[in-house]
Amino acid sequence: MPNVDRRRALGLLTAGAAGIAAAAAPDLWHAGPSRSASASGGHKGGHHGKGPAQPPDPGYAHGQPMQALHLPVRSLQDLSPTAPANAIALTIDDGPHPKYTPMMLDLLAAHGVKATFNMIGEQVVEQPKIVQRIVADGHQIADHTVTHPINLPRLDTARITREIGQAHDQIAQTTGVAPKFFRSPGGNWSQAVFDIAAQHKLICVDWKIDPRDWARPGISHITRTMLQAQPGDILLCHDGGGDRIQTIDALKTVLPQLKQRGLQFVAL
Ligand SMILES: [Zn+2]
């Protein structure tokens, strides 16, 4: 089954379905060059030499070639065959949040865990210092739209382009780093979403382990669910969208226990 998943996930878009995306595919994963090029070449411009210095890419798969997708990545094996055998990836959505994101960063630092933050563009603009700390702490940053429309695939093409493209630029202009990954709100995907993400050189990422922590199901439920992680899994949790104390408290148990099992957290 992993092989089938991977073939489907990595299948090239047909030229007829998405000419622009297919044409962009060979350049989809250029970790180094795309950072500086995209950060200064955003749609709006006006960002010259004021951003922070370029940090190294925190991801584990530097420079791996990547093809445009017609399914989102759900495991590290989908993303790159070079993933360490014991690797798992923690993805943290819906921030930055002025209270919970710093708590999350402190916790990750205490356990030496690198993660990936899927950020909402309009909050990035409100919390630039926190976003810059995420980058400075060595985490990966990703595009999670400007306003988090849960029905993104149902919006018209212009609106989808604005949600993905503007968040890309807001993150790039705040951090000096162009995001390489995109997560659709609620994990709701469509071919139009894949195509527009590919036009922005973004790789679409889903998840395998979902504790539904946004619904505050209780610390023990979140903990139990996340402890089901297996090598290669992408885990989902949240630092925004409401009170995230349950998530933080669960991770205080989850992070050391998964590490104790020999699993290694990697940024995407
Ligand atoms: Zn979200």
Q: Are 40 and 48 in contact (CB under 8 A)?
A: yes
* Cα–ligand 1 centroid distance for 187 (angstroms): 8
Phi first, then psi: what are they for 192, rounded to 5°? -65, -40
- Write down the pLDDT at residue 186: 96
* Torsion over CA: 77, 82, 83, 85 (sign): positive
pLDDT, average across residues 233-244: 98
* 36 vs 181, higher pLDDT: 181
In the reported structure, the alpha carbon of residue 150 is separated from the centroid of ligand 1 by a whole-number distance in angstroms of 8
Residue 69's pLDDT is 61
Question: Per-residue pLDDT averaged across 81-109, rounded?
Answer: 95
Residue 26 clears pLDDT 80, i.e. is over it:
no
> Residue 170 above 50 pLDDT?
yes
> Measured between alpha carbons, how far is 216 from 152 in angstroms, rounded to an integer?
24
What is the reported pLDDT for 67?
53
For residue 222, the domain's CATH number is: 3.20.20.370
How far does residue 119's CA lie from ligand 1's centre (Å)?
Answer: 8
Is the pLDDT assigned to residue 177 strictly greater than 60? yes
Per-residue model confidence as pLDDT tens digits over 41-72: 344 433 444 445 677 788 876 545 455 567 89
Exposure of 122 by Cβ count < 10 A (0-12 exposed, 13-18 middle, 19+ buried)? middle
The catalytic residue positions are 93, 238
Q: What is the identity of the amino acid at 97?
A: H
User: What residues make up the domain containing 24?
Assistant: 2-265
Helices H, strands E: what count in the chain? 11, 7
At 28 the pLDDT is 34
Question: 236 CA to middle of ligand 1, Å?
Answer: 10
Ligand 1 centroid, distance to 239 Cα (angstroms): 10
The total domain count for the chain is 1
What token pair was written down for 241?
């969208």
Q: Which residues pair with 89 in a beta bridge?
A: 234
